[in-house]
A and B are shown apart, each in its own frame.
Chain A
Amino acid sequence: MSIRVPIVEKILHANEQMASVNRSRLDANGVFAINLMAAPGAGKTSLILKTIQALTPGIPIGVIEGDTAPVTIDADKVAAVGMPAVQINTGGDCHLDASMIHTALDALPLKDIQLLIIENVGNLICPAAFDLGSHANVLISAVTEGDDKPYKYPNIYRGIDVLILNKIDLLPYIQFNEAYFRQGVEILNPNITIIPVSCQTGEGIQTWADWLRSRLMKDG
């Protein structure tokens, strides 16, 4: 005969536990970590390079690069500017998860870095569901993606702490209704910090760098 066993356990419970382990480890080392998410081509790697430029020397930064394919294009760019970078190849998987970060942290000199940037896989759906153990979730939206993205990918907009609106140098050439875009974001995530930038011209990068500086936990 059949017996019912009550469970009530979150499906992603294991990931959430691992995420807290990661967070404690980062805290213990005084590392502030951000989970950088965006669609492919929104400018994740460009923003990372601009951020490194704006904060160094002075603030040592580590980078974890998530990619779905075994290419080290992004990690190479970061390593080329002298920052410790770890590449995670998800083997086709659509997102990073906390256990991947757990492994990657072993390969980074945590004691020596103040800021850890985790570049998630280019995707607006799956990364939203997986806590990595970072301290802030950051989303880059490029104006070229269109002003309707908050309405079409609500989950990722709901879970973020900062929104970077990239490629604003292209605004004169495209149809992008910023008020409509901001209204969509506001519905999903009231009072969120939105920082318009251009990784091409450098506009807005200082504002973003200042936001990061204000969050750092230890002095260099």
Chain B
Amino acid sequence: MHELSVTENILEIALKHARVAEATRVTDIHLVIGRLSSIIDDSVQFYWDIISKDTLCAQSRLHFRRVPARILCLNCSEEYDINTELTPCPKCASYKIKVIAGDDFWLESIEIEK
């Protein structure tokens, strides 16, 4: 989708925390992506290499960790994880389900040198 604006946000957050920690260089960026978030890793990496040049994050590595989406069954209150497409409740087979996590995307940590 909008990988450029997403990548700009990652850089902004990483630089903010790197400055607070008085880093001289950021070496690694750890990102967590929910299964239902339509972010394309390669595309983020592509923009990252371009926009992080000349910053503390230059040549840092991006690490993507995908986490499953969490679903709540509105029929029987069962909670379950999905990794691919939306599937009915494993307990009661209902399709009355609600996504309670899995479309978020966050920066978990950075590794720095100082």
A: which residues have CB within 8 A of B? Answer: 1-15, 93-95, 97, 125-126, 129, 154-155, 158, 183, 186-188, 190
Q: Determine the distance from Cα of A5 to Cα of B10 in the docked complex, in whole angstroms.
A: 15
User: Residues of B within 8 Å of A, CB-based: how many?
Assistant: 38
Inter-chain contacts of A7 with B (CB < 8 A): 13-14, 17, 107-110
Are A94's CB and B1's CB within 8 A?
yes
Are B108's CB and A2's CB within 8 A?
no
Given A8-B106, A10-B105, A12-B105; A3-B2 close (CB under 8 Å): no
Are B96's CB and A190's CB within 8 A?
yes
Inter-chain contacts of B12 with A (CB < 8 A): 14
Inter-chain contacts of A155 with B (CB < 8 A): 36, 38, 103
Are B114's CB and A3's CB within 8 A?
yes
B1 touches which of A10, A14, A125, A154 (Cβ 8 Å): A125
Chain B proximity of A86: nearest CB distance (Å): 21
Are A125's CB and B38's CB within 8 A?
yes
Inter-chain contacts of A125 with B (CB < 8 A): 1, 38
B104 CB within 8 Å of chain A: yes
Inter-chain contacts of A1 with B (CB < 8 A): 113
B: which residues have CB within 8 A of A? Answer: 1-2, 5-6, 9-10, 12-14, 17-18, 21, 23, 27-28, 31, 36-38, 74, 86, 95-99, 103-114
Pairs A–B under 8 Å by Cβ, sample size 15: A2-B27, A2-B111, A3-B114, A5-B18, A5-B109, A5-B111, A5-B112, A8-B109, A9-B107, A11-B13, A12-B105, A13-B9, A97-B5, A154-B36, A155-B36
Inter-chain contacts of A97 with B (CB < 8 A): 5
Are B107's CB and A2's CB within 8 A?
no
Further contacts, 9 of them, CB under 8 A, given A5-B23, A154-B36: A5-B109, A5-B112, A7-B17, A9-B13, A9-B17, A11-B107, A14-B12, A129-B1, A129-B2
Inter-chain contacts of B98 with A (CB < 8 A): 190
Inter-chain contacts of B1 with A (CB < 8 A): 94-95, 125-126, 129
Inter-chain contacts of B110 with A (CB < 8 A): 4-5, 7
**CB-based closest 8 A-B pairs:** A126-B1, A187-B95, A126-B2, A6-B109, A11-B105, A10-B106, A2-B111, A190-B96
Closest to B108 in A: A8
Are A4's CB and B105's CB within 8 A?
no
Q: Determine the distance from Cα of A2 to Cα of B17 in the docked complex, in whole angstroms.
A: 15
Closest to A1 in B: B113
Given A155-B36, A155-B38, A190-B98; A14-B112 close (CB under 8 Å): no
Closest to A14 in B: B9
Q: Determine the distance from Cα of A128 to Cα of B109 in the docked complex, in whole angstroms.
A: 26
Chain B proximity of A198: nearest CB distance (Å): 29
